């Protein structure tokens, strides 16, 4: 696997987290309690029974970015840098949590006193700076911003509530306005400890090559999933047999150019390693955190139609087989628990489809859309999306499990993006509220209009993992923030529209006239 040779406008900073995390994650990984949490237990949701003896597996902090629904344009770059700092602080705290298991076993107050307390102090200062950034350009910082400073420890074992199979939860057309998370309370008060499960503080069976997942309970045999069992309302196909029934497919390859980085141009512009995990890129070839809209417009593209310079990117999928990849010792890679062989998709199908209720309008150039939530394991399900399946079984989709496919079948990742636009903005302060999913009847919410729905289908030839004595052998997992424990519910996908005007008009014309174009 080649190493990315992306441009940089500033030299790569030396990461303190890289050194500390490398110590924490090297030498075969850490040993944890089995962490069998069901991500769809509830939307905010951990068992809140406290016990001073329970193992704390990870850290849950309020997602400040989702709360900031109104940030003046002139403050957004500064706020984005502070939000990225909050993520780095959580990563540092998680690393310390992983390094200090012995100390935690001997002191029930260690996590609160030595990890969560200092983390809160750092977050208070960062939240203050966010408020200053907003206020000094004439905006008004949200009330109660400081209340988002406190983080909680998530207990090491949770009751299982659903195995992902046999439950029909299509919820076709459910109103997804909640996707925007406006004002959602994510403090999860009281979740700092879980039930005393009697586990040794450093038991066997932690799961994952780097000690931060996945575990056996994160997998399900696709043959045990019932058809129609996708268990989230978000991301359903917007099109059907009525309305605008055409489609437009763009051929952009599978990242043959090996363009990888751990940035996120949408969420953390100007911040190196803003994603804390590695992305695959197809389409636009200038995709780092420092790329301007002008850079995107002038870049090369991997798409066959050279008028499509859009950016399509998603977390890499890795096989945790002990391989040291090019980023094995780097921040965002092995130094933050994202380890193993990067698997390149054998197919990357990128299609735009229409609306069940009528015509679609053109997307504005540089429109940004994020679907799914890289922090859904601790945030809850409001923004969770994407699903896993197997070729030959794609009427069976699961969002909170990785699938084990039978011989001859390949793993499929599917992302159906939001297809309603507010008609004004190419982005929003929390990168959510300018777009929405369709409502129950297939129409867009008031004030929104239908745009082509982006559907991304990725196919991977993945050796099927096995489960022996409750442990998963050679698992695969999507890259993610280290504290999210490589849960499948955190899968996500990103898009920036950089089609030229003529091509976008062609896309709209094909869809509205019922043609299938490419």
pLDDT of residue 185: 38
Strands (E), 77-235: 152-155, 219-221
Confidence category of residue 26, pLDDT binned at 50, 70, 90: very low
Residue 454 near residue 309 (C-beta atoms within 8 A): no
Which DSSP string do the residues of 407-467 spell out, in sequence order? TT--EEEEEE---EE-SS-S--TTSSTTEE---TTSPPPTT-EE-PEEEEEEEE--PPPEE
Kindly tell me if the per-residue pLDDT of 132 is higher than 60. Answer: yes
Bond before 214 cis per omega within 30 degrees? yes
- Residue 464's CB is within 10 A of a number of other CB atoms, namely 16
Share above pLDDT 70 across residues of the chain, in percent, rounded to a whole number: 79
Sign of CA dihedral 63, 67, 70, 72: negative
Residue 36 or residue 387, greater confidence: 387
Secondary element (H or E) of residue 118 = helix 117-135
- The radius of gyration of the chain's CA atoms, rounded to the nearest angstrom, is 22
Mean of pLDDT over the chain = 82
Please tell me what DSSP assigns to residue 116: I
Cα 135–Cα 141–Cα 144 angle in degrees, nearest 5: 145
* 433's tokens: 């509220």
Tokens 């769809």 sit at which residue?
Answer: 40
Higher per-residue pLDDT: 50 or 459: 459
**DSSP one-letter code for 358:** B
Mean pLDDT of 23-36: 28
Residue 2 has pLDDT above 70, yes or no: no
Q: Which residues of 124-135 are buried (b: 16+ CB within 10 A; e: fewer)?
A: eebbeebbebbe
Of residues 187 and 371, more confidently modeled: 371
CA 155 to chain centre: 22
- Orientation angle between helical segments 16-25 and 76-99, nearest 10 degrees: 30
Instruction: Map residue 318 onto helix, strand or coil.
Output: strand
Reduced 3-state DSSP string for 23-86: HHHCCCCCCCCCCCCCCCCCCCCCCCCCCCCCCEEEEECCCHHHHCCCCCHHHHHHHHHHHHHH
198-229 pLDDT per residue, tens: 222 323 334 789 989 999 999 999 999 999 87
Output the CA angle 497-502-504, nearest 5 degrees.
35
pLDDT in tens, 76-97: 999 999 999 999 999 999 999 9
Backbone torsion region of residue 389, taken as left when φ is above 0, otherwise alpha when ψ lies between -120 and 50, otherwise beta: beta
What is the C-alpha separation between 45 and 152, in angstroms, rounded? Answer: 12
Where do the DSSP E strands lie in 285-324? 311-315, 317-319
Between 23-37, 277-291, 320-334, the lowest mean confidence (pLDDT) is in 23-37
What is the three-class DSSP state of 301?
Answer: strand
Instruction: Please give the share of the chain, as a percent, with pLDDT higher than 90.
Output: 69
When pLDDT is cut at 50, 70 and 90, the band that residue 156 belongs to is low
For the segment 361-382, the average pLDDT, to the nearest whole number, is 95
**pLDDT at residue 169 is higher than 80:** no
The alpha carbon of 491 is separated from its chain's Cα centroid by a whole number of angstroms, namely: 4
Mean pLDDT of 386-412: 96
Q: What is the pLDDT of residue 204?
A: 34
Per-residue pLDDT at 241: 86
CB atoms near residue 228 (< 10 Å): 13
Between these two residues, 11 and 129, which has the higher pLDDT value? 129
Q: What is the mean pLDDT of residues 126-144?
A: 94
Tokens of 261: 């980085």
Q: Backbone phi, then psi, for 121, in 5-degree steps?
A: -60, -45
Kindly report, residue by residue over 89-129, the tens digit of the pLDDT: 999 999 999 899 899 988 989 999 999 999 999 999 999 99
Q: Residue 410: is its pLDDT beyond 50?
A: yes
Which has the closest alpha carbon to 162: 4, 36, 256? 36
Say if residue 255's pLDDT is above 90.
yes
Is residue 465 a contact partner of residue 440, using CB atoms and an 8 Å limit? no
Mean pLDDT of 346-370: 97
Q: pLDDT-based confidence at 486, cuts 50/70/90?
A: very high
Per-residue confidence band for 440, with pLDDT thresholds at 50, 70 and 90: confident
pLDDT over 50 at 513, yes or no = yes
With a cut of 70, say whether residue 193 has pLDDT above it. no
Q: How many CA atoms lie within 13 A of 326 on its CB side?
A: 13
Closest by alpha carbon to 276, among 76, 10, 21? 21
pLDDT at 231: 63
Asked if the model's pLDDT at residue 194 lies above 60, the reply is: no
DSSP letter assigned to residue 490 = G
106 vs 5 pLDDT, higher one: 106
Q: pLDDT digits over 319-336, tens only? A: 999 999 999 999 999 999
At a CB cut-off of 8 Å and minimum separation 6, what does 436 contact?
Answer: 176, 177, 179, 180, 418, 420, 422, 444, 445, 448
pLDDT at 55: 79
Query: Tokens at residue 126, please?
Result: 């960062």
Higher pLDDT, 237 or 124: 124
Whether the pLDDT of residue 278 is over 60: the answer is yes
Angle among Cα 327, 331, 333 to the nearest 5 degrees reads 40
């Amino acid at each position: 696997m080649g190493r990315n040779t992306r441009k940089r406008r500033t030299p790569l900073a030396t990461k303190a987290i890289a050194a500390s995390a490398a110590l924490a994650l090297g030498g075969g990984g850490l040993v944890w309690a089995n962490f069998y949490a069901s991500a769809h237990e509830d939307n905010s949701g951990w068992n809140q029974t406290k016990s001073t003896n329970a193992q704390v597996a990870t850290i849950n902090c309020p997602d400040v970015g989702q709360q900031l629904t109104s940030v003046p344009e002139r403050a957004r770059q500064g706020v984005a840098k502070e939000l990225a700092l909050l993520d780095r602080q959580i990563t540092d705290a998680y690393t310390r949590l992983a390094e200090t298991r012995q100390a935690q076993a001997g002191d029930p107050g260690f996590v609160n006193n030595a990890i969560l307390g200092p983390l809160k102090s750092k977050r208070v200062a960062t939240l203050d700076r966010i408020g200053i950034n907003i206020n000094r350009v004439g905006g008004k910082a949200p009330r109660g911003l400081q209340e988002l400073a406190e983080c909680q420890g998530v207990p090491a074992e949770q009751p299982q509530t659903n195995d992902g199979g046999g439950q029909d939860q299509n919820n076709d057309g459910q109103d997804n306005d909640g996707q925007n998370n406006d004002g959602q309370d994510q403090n999860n008060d009281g979740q700092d400890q879980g039930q005393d499960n009697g586990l040794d503080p450093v038991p066997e069976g932690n799961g994952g090559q780097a000690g931060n997942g996945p575990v056996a309970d994160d997998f399900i045999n696709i043959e045990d999933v019932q058809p129609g069992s996708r268990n989230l309302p978000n991301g359903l196909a917007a099109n059907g047999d009525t309305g605008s029934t055409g489609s437009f497919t763009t051929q952009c390859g599978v990242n043959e150019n090996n363009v990888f980085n751990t940035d996120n141009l949408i969420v953390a512009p100007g911040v190196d390693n803003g994603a804390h995990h590695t992305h695959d890129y197809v389409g636009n070839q200038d995709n780092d955190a420092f790329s301007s809209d002008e850079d995107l417009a002038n870049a090369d593209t991997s798409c066959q139609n050279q008028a499509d310079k859009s950016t399509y990117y998603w977390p890499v999928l890795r096989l945790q087989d002990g391989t040291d990849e090019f980023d094995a010792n780097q921040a965002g890679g092995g130094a933050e628990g994202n380890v193993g062989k990067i698997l390149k998709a054998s197919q990357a199908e990128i299609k735009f489809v229409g609306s069940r209720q009528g015509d679609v309008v053109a997307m504005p150039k540089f429109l940004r859309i994020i679907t799914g939530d890289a922090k859904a394991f601790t945030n809850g399900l409001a923004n969770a999306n994407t699903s896993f399946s197997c070729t030959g079984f794609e009427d069976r989709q699961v969002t909170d499990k990785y699938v084990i496919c039978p011989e001859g079948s390949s793993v499929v990742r599917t992302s159906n993006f939001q297809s309603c636009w507010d008609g004004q903005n190419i982005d929003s302060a929390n990168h959510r509220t300018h777009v929405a999913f369709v409502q129950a009847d297939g129409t867009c919410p008031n004030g929104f209009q239908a745009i082509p729905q982006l559907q991304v289908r990725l196919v991977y030839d993945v050796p099927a993992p096995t489960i022996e004595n409750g442990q998963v052998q050679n698992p695969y997992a999507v890259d993610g923030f280290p504290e999210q424990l490589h849960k499948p519910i955190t899968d996500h996908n990103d898009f920036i529209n950089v089609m030229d005007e003529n091509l976008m008009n062609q896309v709209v014309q094909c869809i509205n006239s019922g043609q299938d174009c490419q």
